[in-house]
Amino acid sequence: MKVGIIGAGAWGTGLAHVIARGGTSVVLWSFEGEYEHFDGIGLSSAVVVTTDMANLEDCDVWIAVTPAAFFRDTMTKAKEFYKNQPIIVCTKGAEPKTGKFMTEILKETINPNRQNIGVLSGPQFAGEVAHDVPTGSTLAGSSKIHEIGKTVFNQLYLSYTDDVIGTVVCGVGKNAVALISGYVKIKGKGENESALAMTELWQEVVYLGMKLGAKMETFLDFCGLGDLLLTATSKTSRNFSAGMALALNEPLTGTVEGISALDGLVKHATQAHVHVPILSKMQGKLSRDRMITHENKKLKDVKFMLGISSFSFAMQKKKKLKKYFDFAK
């Protein structure tokens, strides 16, 4: 089997390492011919780096790892070379302008058969995956996708589900929650408030996901709780670090999927008529802070009241609470 990976950033290259280690040949497509280098580890001879998408044509499986901002354009260009291969989406995010999820964009561009669409998500720091650190991941899709995963991702600890939308929402949601959690780490009053905020935010993500057709158990899997614990508590997480930077009025560096993820969640919630008050308030707050940071101005001390929606997992009902958060102090 030969796998074509579309995107040679940190995650794409990390996947190339782990897939090659498992005995599968890899074609790693890179926009500029570059790929991520990890300390102490070289790229396997089983990995061929290319800038020519034509080299993806005879691959048995495609893995899409392009950043959310470039996903549509990249998939549109790749369509010419698509030969009905299964496509597994590994990008966790939402399109900046539209707020659409990557699976939605995939359908609008390449439009694979439903049985050929999969999603891989979970607590996956690319550097650790590349260095063979034990890593759990959720693979969502059809039985066909699951069988492919057993070969391609045989070096990962996999759980399997048919809940594609739930796995997608988890990936997008954890990015948004990680961003806000980093912000609260600086602006909040302590660890208790950080835990309070993260819990309430994740409940809103779960509530939205279920309204979109997700299953509850998906949010407790690697792609949900596992990824949340990893990225919403660690400075290694780009989104968590970006939230801290926003709170400190510092410029953002690198790819920060959490910003567009937050926008995408709120847009989907609006379209689905789902009440997500904290996500909505923080979207507005962080948008204002980004503008202030861009203009190199000092943040003003702000206190605001948020109406918090607490989702009861057992009863699957919301009850309204009012909490006073000092995040923007």
Name the residues annotated as catalytic.
Answer: 174
First to last CA, the chain: 55
| Cα(53)–Cα(57) distance, integer angstroms | 7
3-class SS string, 140-164: ECCHHHHHHHHHHCCCCEEEEECCH
**Longest Cα pair distance anywhere in the chain, in angstroms?**
57
Best CA proximity match to 20, nearest among 166, 145, 154, 164: 154
The DSSP code sequence of 205-259 is HHHHHHHTT--GGGGGSIIIIIHHHHHSS-TTSHHHHHHHHHHTT----S--HHH
The single-letter code of the amino acid at 149 is G
Nearest to 226 by CA among 186, 191, 174: 174
Q: How many CB atoms lie within 10 A of CB 230?
A: 22
Q: Which two tokens stand for residue 68?
A: 């959310």
CA gap 328, 270 in Å, rounded: 24
Q: Which residues contact 294 (CB under 8 A, 6 or more apart)?
A: none
Q: 236-260: string of b/e by CB count within 10 Å (b at 16+)?
A: ebbbbbbbbbbbeeeebeebbbbbb
Place of tokens 């995963």: 149
Q: Are 148 and 170 in contact (CB under 8 A)?
A: no
